[in-house]
C-alpha cells in the first residue's frame, strides 16, 4: 500500500491544502486544478489506492465518503442547483493519484457525456 501519495502528504499536513471538511474517517480539500467553480476532493484517511481495489470490507467507508460529499455540497451552497460526484479509476478512467478520491464538482451546469 503506497502511503506516500500527494494526498497522504496532505492528510499528514506535510504539504498545504485548502481543507473544507475533516472527520476521523475522511478529509476534503479544494482541487489544485479546479474544473468547476466548486471542485473538492473527498478522500478516506485510510489508504485505498482506488475504487477498483475496494472490497466488501470498505462498504461503510465508501458510504461515509458519499454522505460526507453530500453534506459538503450542502455547506458549499451547491446542493439546490445540483452537482456531480465522480470517481476516476485506472488509466482509462483518468485516475492520476493512487489514493481513492471522490470529485465533488458544482457551481455550473455539467455536461454529459463526459470526455
Measured CA angle at 21 (ends 20, 23), to 5 deg: 160
Among 25, 59, 94, 108, binds ligand DGP (CB under 6 A): 94
Q: Pairing mode, if any, of strands 26-30 and 19-22?
A: antiparallel
Specify whether 101 is catalytic: yes
Quick one: which segment of 20-28, 67-75, 88-96, 107-115 binds ligand DGP (CB under 6 A)? 88-96
Inter-residue contact 29 to 95 (CB < 8 Å): no
Q: Does 88 bind ligand DGP (CB under 6 A)?
A: yes
Grid cell in block for residue 85: 460526484
- Give catalytic residues, as residue numbers: 101
Return residues touching ligand DGP (CB under 6 A): 6, 17, 29-33, 41, 88, 94-97
Amino acid at each position: 500500500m503506497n502511503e506516500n501519495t500527494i494526498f497522504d502528504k496532505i492528510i499528514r499536513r506535510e504539504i498545504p491544502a485548502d481543507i473544507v471538511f475533516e472527520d476521523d474517517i475522511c478529509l476534503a480539500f479544494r482541487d489544485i486544478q479546479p474544473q468547476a467553480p466548486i471542485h473538492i476532493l473527498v478522500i478516506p484517511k485510510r489508504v485505498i489506492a482506488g475504487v477498483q481495489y475496494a472490497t466488501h470490507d470498505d462498504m461503510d467507508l465508501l458510504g461515509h465518503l458519499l454522505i460526507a460529499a453530500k453534506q459538503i455540497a450542502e455547506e458549499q451552497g451547491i446542493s439546490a442547483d445540483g452537482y456531480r460526484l465522480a470517481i476516476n479509476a485506472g488509466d482509462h478512467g483518468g485516475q492520476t493519484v493512487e489514493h481513492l478520491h471522490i470529485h465533488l464538482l458544482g457551481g455550473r451546469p455539467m455536461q454529459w457525456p463526459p470526455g
